[in-house]
Structure 1
Amino acid sequence: NKCIREKYKKVYNEKGADYLYEILKSRNEKIANTLDKNNVKRVIRALEILDTSEDMKSFDNVKVMQDYKVNMYVLKLNRDILYDRINKRVDIMIKNSLIEEVKALMEKGLTKDTQSMKAIGYRQVISYLENEISKEEMIELIKRDSRRYAKKQYTWFRRYDFAKWIDVENKTIDEISNIILEDVNI
C-alpha cells in the first residue's frame, strides 16, 4: 500500500531508522528481531504488512521451517580464506569489465537511485564514475562491503538452530555433496 509506505518513509525521514524500528518492535517484537534495524526498506515493508493484514505467515519463516522437516546446510570457510577469496573475486570482476557494465547500464537510463544499482559493486562503481572516489577506493570499498555482507550472511544463518554447518576448507565438492546426501539418507 503506497499510502502506508509513504507514511513510514516520512517517519523515517523525520525521526530516523532507530525510531522506525522501535515502532515495529512495539507492534511485533518477534518480527523486529528477524530484521536488521538499518534495513529501512524491510522495516517499512514489515510495518506496511502489519498495517494491512493480520496474516503474518510471510514473516514467520522460522516457524514454517520448524513445522516441516527442513534440511539447511551452511558452508563454512575459515574467515581469512573466505575474505581472501572475496578480494580475489572482486579483482576478477574489475578485470572482467564491471566498470564498463555499469557504464552501459547508466547509458540505458539506470541511476544510482535505481534499486538494482544499489547492489554491492554497482554503487561503488557509480561513485567512481561520478568522480566521488578514486579507482583504488572503489575497489577497496567493493571488497570491504562484500566481506561485511558475507559476515552478515553467517550471522543470519546462526538464528536457525537446526542449520547444519559444514566446514568446507579442505573438502572437495564431491565430499561436501556426500556429507549432505548421507545426512538426508539418499
Structure 2
Amino acid sequence: MKPNKFKRTAAKSGVNYANRGKPFETLIETTNAMYAHKGWADIQKAEPPVKVQNKIGNKITLGWYQKHGFVDFFGVSHGRALAFEAKTTNSRTSFALSNIKDHQVQVLKRWHEQGAASFVLVEFQKHREVYILRYKQLEEWWEGMENGGRKSIPYEWFNMHCDQVKSQRGVALDYLYLLNLPG
C-alpha cells in the first residue's frame, strides 16, 4: 500500500491574527484615496522592507521581513506631517497594549517630537467603532504599563477620552477632521 501523499497534519495550536485588520486597513486606504482626490492630504501605506531570497522574473517566491517596519501609514496634510498605526481588536472591554510594538511607539514618539500628528486608529470590531488615540494619550498608557500598570486600555476610557472617527464630509473614515486639518 502506497503512503498517502496528501497526508493530513495536525492543525497548529493558536490562532493566526495576520489578516484580522485587513478590512479596517482597506477602509483606511479608501479614506486616504478620497483625501488625495479632494486634495486634502497625501497619505501612504508603509510596506516593511523585505529581504528577497528567491525571485523568478518580477515575482518574489521566497522572502521575509528584513527588520522592524515603520508605522502603518504616513503622509502630509496642508503642511503637517502625519504618522499613525491602525489596530483592530475583537475585545468588547479593552484594547491590549501588546497590539502595539515598542518600535512603533518609538516611531510615533519621534514624529510627535518633530511636530507631526502621531496617533493610533483603534477599531473595536464588536462595537463597530473607531477611535483616535493621540500619541500623548498612548504615551501615558505605555509608560504606565512599563511601570507595572495596566496592560490594556478599557473600552470605556476610549469612549470618554478619545474622539470617535466617523464617516462625514464624503469620506469613509474622516480622521483628518478630528485633527483639525483643513478639508
TM-score band w.r.t. shorter chain = under 0.3
TM-score of the two chains, using structure 1 as the length reference? 0.23
Q: Which has the higher helix share?
A: 1
TM-score of the two chains, using structure 2 as the length reference? 0.23
The structure, 1 or 2, with the larger RCO (C-alpha pairs under 8 Å, 6+ apart) is 1
Q: Which has the higher strand share?
A: 2
User: Whose Rg is larger?
Assistant: 1
